[in-house]
Amino acid sequence: MFELLGQMWQFIQNPAPEPSFISETVIYLQLCIVSTLLAIVVALPLGILVAQRQISAFLLTNFTGLMRAVPTLVFFALAYPYLGLGFKPAVIALTVIGIPPILLNTIAGLRGIDAATVDAARGMGMTSLQVLWRIQIPLTLPVVAAGVRTAAVQIVATAPLAALIGGAGYGDYIIGGLGLINIPIVLAGVIPVALLALLFEVALAGVQRLLTPAGLRVSQPSAEEAPTQAAASSDQPLAA
C-alpha cells in the first residue's frame, strides 16, 4: 500500500503526459463550486415560489424526488448531444444533479414553519413580502443549508464522471488510470475527490450550524429528514 502511495505521489509531482495536478485541481474546484452556486440560484427561488402553492409544491416535490432516482450518467448522456464536450455541459449536468436536495429542503423548510408564527407576524402589520423575508426565510435557512450541504457533497462525488464529456478534473486521472490499469494514477484522482468531499461536508456543516438559531439546533431536521418532512406537510398549504 505504501508503495502504491509513493508511486501516486511521484505521479502527482510529474504527471506528464497527463495535465498537471494543480491545473486538474483548479478545474475540479471550478466544476464543483460553479455547479453548486448555480443549483442554489435555480432551486432557492423556485422553492420559495412554489412552497406557497399546495398543488405546485406537491407536484414539484414528487417530480424532484423522481429526478434523484435517475442514474447520474443519464444527465451526462443527455448533456452531450445538445451541448457537446467541455466545461459548460459538465457544469450544466452537475447543476441538474445538485438542484433536487436544495429544492426539496427549501420547500420543506417553508412548509414546516408553524402557522401561528406567520399569523403573529401578520398581526403585527407585516405584509406577505415582509413575512417572507423577515420570518420565513430566516427560519428556513438552516434547512436550506442542509440541502446545499447534501447537493455540494453529491456534486463533488459525482464530478469525476464529467471527464466522460470533456469536463476534465480528477476524472481524467481516474478514467485514464483505469484505461491503463494503473492503480497509482487512479489513486491520484480518487483520494483527492474523497478528501474534497469530506472538506465540503465539514465546512458546510459548520455553515449550517451557524445559520441555525441556538434554540433550534437540537430539533433541526437533517438533510435526509427534510424531504420526508416536506411530503408529510404537503397537505398543509402555506399561508400566502
Asked if pLDDT for residue 161 goes beyond 70, the answer is yes
- Inform me whether the pLDDT recorded for 219 exceeds 60: no
Q: What is the distance between the terminal CA atoms of the chain, rounded to a whole angstrom?
A: 60
The sign of the CA dihedral 189, 199, 165, 70 is: positive
H helix runs in the chain, sequence order: 2-13, 21-51, 54-69, 72-83, 87-111, 115-123, 128-131, 137-158, 170-180, 183-211, 225-232
Candidate from 42-46, 109-113, 204-208 with smallest mean pLDDT: 109-113
pTM of the model: 0.81
Q: How many CB atoms lie within 10 A of CB 81?
A: 8
Asked whether the predicted pLDDT for residue 17 surpasses 80, the reply is no
Domains and CATH numbers, the chain: 7-12+20-231 (1.10.3720.10)
In the predicted structure, residue 42 carries a pLDDT above the cut 90:
yes
As a whole number, mean pLDDT of residues 133-139 equals: 84
Measured distance CA(138)–CA(148) in Å, rounded: 15
Residue 26 has pLDDT above 90, yes or no: yes
Q: Which of 63-67, 116-120, 146-150 is predicted most confidently?
A: 146-150
| Contact (CB, 8 A) for 49 and 218 | no
Query: Could you identify the residue written with the cell 414528487?
Result: 62
Average pLDDT over residues 41-60: 87
**Does residue 34 contact residue 91 with C-beta atoms inside 8 Å?**
yes
pLDDT for 230: 43
Q: Which of 98-102, 183-187, 219-223 has the lowest mean pLDDT?
A: 219-223
Under the banding of pLDDT at 50, 70 and 90, the label for residue 77 is: confident
Interval 202-214: pLDDT, tens: 999 998 888 877 6
User: Please, are residues 150 and 8 in contact by the beta-carbon 8 Å criterion?
Assistant: no
